[in-house]
Structure 1
Amino acid sequence: MPKYIFAYHGGGMPETEEEGKRVMAAWGAWMESMGDKLVDGGNPVGMSSTLTADGLSDGGGANPLSGYTIVEAESVEAAAEMGKGCPILEGGSGTIEIAPLIDM
């Protein structure tokens, strides 16, 4: 079955310990709901840097990556259905870029 990466953009850090627990529980429940289709729960990432032919720059570019997850799905549409329950989409502060992983 094809694998897809969910590349997260945006979102934010919880402001309180209570909110952090709620957010972590939401992520855990969402990942659990995918069962064996969850290949790699992934991780959040720190501030990225961009490497070009001209050198390295800080700031992560126009839409920096904030984390990732890898799933198995029959199609990009099926992967998108799985992604609809992702907590990063709550409140409209984050997005998910979905791309197939190509076996080499």
Structure 2
Amino acid sequence: MTRWKAWSAGLGDAMIVPGAPFGPSKTIQSDGSVQDGAPDPAAGYTVIEAADMDAAIALAKPCPHLDAGGTLEIAQTMDMEM
């Protein structure tokens, strides 16, 4: 947790939502059936603000999740009219 907190603090104003780890999940299929787990479960999430994808990658690379053998998926949010 010490390394996680240090990484989070190092993001400064780029940290928009600190996120949280995920617990057990369920998957709802298109036919309405529900199954335990997910085909490719996420471990958690964090929302950051960056100028572009390269900047987001640079901010994410020091994340201690990688040192534990994990992977990170970086995605840009899409604007949607609601």
1:103 deviation in Å?
Answer: 2.5
Q: Which has the higher contact order (CA 8 A, sep 6+)?
A: 1
What CA distance in whole angstroms lies between the structure 2 residues aligned with 1:49 and 1:97?
20
- Which residue of the partner structure matches residue 100 of structure 1? 76
Give the superposed CA RMSD.
1.0
State the SS of the aligned residue for 2:43. Answer: strand
- Which residue of the partner structure matches residue 3 of structure 1? none
What CA distance in whole angstroms lies between the structure 2 residues aligned with 1:46 and 1:64?
10
1:57 equivalent in alignment to 2:35: yes
Aligned residues: 79
What CA distance in whole angstroms lies between the structure 2 residues aligned with 1:82 and 1:75?
11
The alignment-based identity, stated in percent, is 42
Which structure has greater strand proportion?
1
Which runs of 5 or more structure 2 residues have no equivalent in the other structure? none
TM-score by length of 1: 0.71
Which runs of 5 or more structure 1 residues have no equivalent in the other structure? 1-23
TM-score by length of 2: 0.89
Superposed CA offset, 1:20-41 (max 9, x none): xxxx111110011010010011
**Runs of 4+ deviating beyond 2 Å:** none
